[in-house]
Amino acid sequence: MVEVAGRVGVMGDGDFGGLADGELAAYVDAERLGCGPSVRELGVVEVRRRQAVRVAGRVAGPGLAEVRDVEVGRRSVSGVALGGLPGVDVVAGDASLGASAGGGASGDVVAGGVVSVRGRLYRPTLDAVPLVVYVHGGMWSIGGLESHDRLCRRLAVAARVAVLAVDYRLAPEHPWPAGIDDAVAAFRWAAEHAGELCGAVGVPAIAGDSSGGHLAALVCLRMRDEGGPMPAAQFLAFPNTDLTLSRPSTREKATGWGLTTDAVAWGVENLVPDPVRRADPGVSPLFAADLAGLPPAVVVTAEHDPLRDEGDEYADRLRGAGVRVRHRCELGMVHGFLTMELVSPAADAAGGRFFADVADFLFG
């Protein structure tokens, strides 16, 4: 292990241009040489289509004891919870649901102005285990149950927890606060139904990567301010916390490391078209005046990521508010490493450390 200025990671042998291993360096070099149109130039429909093609060609994740799709948070568009209907489309045994789509408009608006939020439950065992509600990344504009199916399976197996993935509504069709409202409704529903879903006792934890980490952090703030139920823990991987994009790493790591700052800005514009609102604490958790009373947190960032500094600063502010925090910045790593395990052994190991953190906080 290497620790430099509070940043921790595992570095391989040799010089890989500051990256953690040769495979990751080759991937980043290919991205730099072959960069085509930006997401801004492509537009959301084409970006989603391309993600769906990539997801369809991805190696399936590990088989689990049970995988089933659920309706996790029926509610009116005014935010009044209407309950949920667990247990549809059950796939039991060594299941492997097809990854046929990488994203799209999530959450169905049905008759009477009711929002139906889809989810998918992953159980590594039919025994009772803790439940983690998972909110996917994708710049609030792409992604869904299929894009993160393999990741959720890996998390369930590695941490030995049940995972409930949430398919919240996406921007720009559904700008703020639709996605966070869906995530809050889904978490409340999961807390009410955890025993039915996986035999869990107590309140679930919440987790997310990138923009999903942003929504997970906001769920914790909303639960604190609205009287609970409070998540058992929050697990945030390279999260957005400052939608003004004003931290130094958004300039220092703006291009050349996979995710670009302009791509993040595109997602922010889709989610929150009004620039004035982006510094609102209900939009950017880093701007919350008080972070006391929030759940224990794991915050993991990546050295070569435009979002690095806002994640690091959020971890520091949580700790300063008296929250139990485990914070790690992965040296030589880039944004999105949780879904890069087939690209780079170092990314696979970094993901493994994140999964171990989940297990340690929930079982330790």
Domains of the chain: 2-363 (3.40.50.1820)
Active site residue: 210, 211, 284, 344, which one?
210
Q: With 80 as the cut, is the pLDDT of residue 9 above it? A: no
Please say whether the dihedral angle defined by the alpha carbons of residues 281, 285, 288 and 294, taken in this order, is positive or negative: positive
Distance from C-alpha of 257 to C-alpha of 276, rounded to nearest angstrom:
29
Choosing from 242, 305, 309, 357, the catalytic residue is 305
Question: Which residue is listed with tokens 């439940």?
Answer: 131
Tens digit of each residue's pLDDT (9 = 90 or more) over 86-111:
333 333 333 333 333 444 445 554 44
The residue ranges of DSSP E strands in 146-249, in sequence order, are 162-167, 205-209, 234-237
Each residue of 28-49: pLDDT tens digit? 999 999 878 999 999 999 999 9
Active site residue 280: no
Predicted local distance difference test score (pLDDT) of residue 364: 83
Q: Which of 136, 304, 327, 335 is catalytic?
A: 335
Token pair of 166 as six digits: 């949430």
Stated as kind and residue range, the H or E segment containing 192 is helix 178-198
Helix or strand holding residue 20 (H, E): none
Token couple for 51:
């993600």
pTM over 0.85: yes
Catalytic (active site) residue 335: yes
Q: Check if 15 is active-site.
A: no
